[in-house]
Homo-oligomer: A and B are copies of this chain.
Amino acid sequence: MSQPAENTRIVLASRPVGEPQPSDFRIESAPLPVPGEGQLLLETRYLSLDPYMRGRMSDAESYADPVALGHVMVGGTVCTVIESRDPGYSSGDVVLSFSGWQSHSVADAKHVRKIDPSLAPVETALGVLGMPGFTGYAGLLRIGKPQPGETVVVAAATGPVGSAVGQIARIKGARAVGIAGGPEKCAYLHELGFDAAIDHRAPDFADQLAAAVPNGIDVYFENVGGQVWDAVLPLLNTYARVPVCGLIANYNLTSAPAGPDRAPALMSRILTKSLTVRGFIQSEFVKESFADFMLDMSGWVRDGKVGYREDIVDGLTNAPEAFIGLLRGKNFGKLLVKVADA
C-alpha cells in the first residue's frame, strides 16, 4: 500500500432524467485530503453500490438530502486507515466508513467503526453483516413479524436485502418464496433454502406466484414495486404486513405511468384486507435492534444458516456502469466495487 499522490473520485455531473447515464457521473482527480486532529486518512478498499443511491441523485423530496451537483457520490465503504490522528486507531486498521465513491477520504474517527478481519471477510460489513442485511432483518422482524407457518414473499431475492429476508423468514419458521430474474438466480434461491423461487421474467409470472403461495401471502417485503407488487397485491391475506424498504422499479420513472389511476383500488385493498403497509429506512431501528442483528446474523452466517453472495466489480472507475446495471437487475448478489487491494 504505497501512499499515492492523488485522490480519484466520482462526482455527480448532472441529475439523471429517467435511467442514469454514464455522462451523469464525472471522474476527477484531487489532492489527497489532510486529516485534522481526531480524524483519519482512509484508503477505500470496497465501495458498496445500493439502489437507494438513485434517489440521492435526484432533488425530489426524500428521506435524505440529494447529492449536490459536482459533489462526490455517497456510499458505504470499507477502508484501511493510512494515517491516524486519533488515539483509538492505527495505520492499517480496517474500518467501515461512509466515504463515498472515491479512493481516499478523511473521516472523523467517531464516524467510523472498526472491523475485525478475523471474524468474517471485511466486505461483509457492507452486505450481509451491514446495512443491507440489517434492512432485511429489521424490516422483516420489526414490521413483517412472520409467524411460524406463515408465507413470506420477497423480490430481488438474491440481493443482499432479499436473501437476508428469505433466510431469516425460514429461521423463524415461515415459508419463504423468493422472486428473482432468470433461472440462474432462481437456482441460487433453492441453494439458499427458499421454499420456492419464481422468475419474474416468465410470461406467466403472476400465475406462477399464485401457485407458489397456496395459502396466500402474510408478509410481502417490498423492495422493488412495479409488476411484482401488482402480482402480489391480490394474493395478500387479511392482516398481511408489507414492509416497504425500496421501489427500484419506480426509481427511474420520470412521471406517473399512464392510467387508469390505481391508487383508489390500492387503498380499497388496504381497507378490505386490513393490510399494514409500512415504509421504513433501516436507520429507524438501529438503536433498538442493531446489536441484536450483529449477534444473530454473525451467528447464522458462521453456522451456515445464512448464506450470501457477492458480485465484485474491479476498479472505482467501473462504478457508474455497475450502478446502472444494478438498477437493471444485472448484478447477482451484493454489488461491491473493489477499489484497492488490502
Contacts and interface: CB of A to CB of B under 8 A. Distances in A.
Contacts of A229: 267
A253 interface: yes
B260 A63 contact: no
A225 interface: yes
Interface in A225-271: 225-226, 229, 238-239, 244-247, 250, 253, 255-271
Contacts of A279: 269-276
Nearest to A241: B278
Contact of A250 (B55, B244, B256, B268): B268
A257 B264 contact: yes
Interface string A271-311: 11111111111001000000000000000000000000000
A191 interface: no
Given A266-B266, A272-B62, A280-B274, A256 B261 contact: yes
A261 B269 CA distance: 16
Contacts of A261: 256-263
Given A61-B272, A267-B277, 10 more contacts: A63-B272, A222-B267, A225-B267, A244-B267, A247-B267, A256-B262, A259-B260, A262-B263, A269-B279, A275-B277
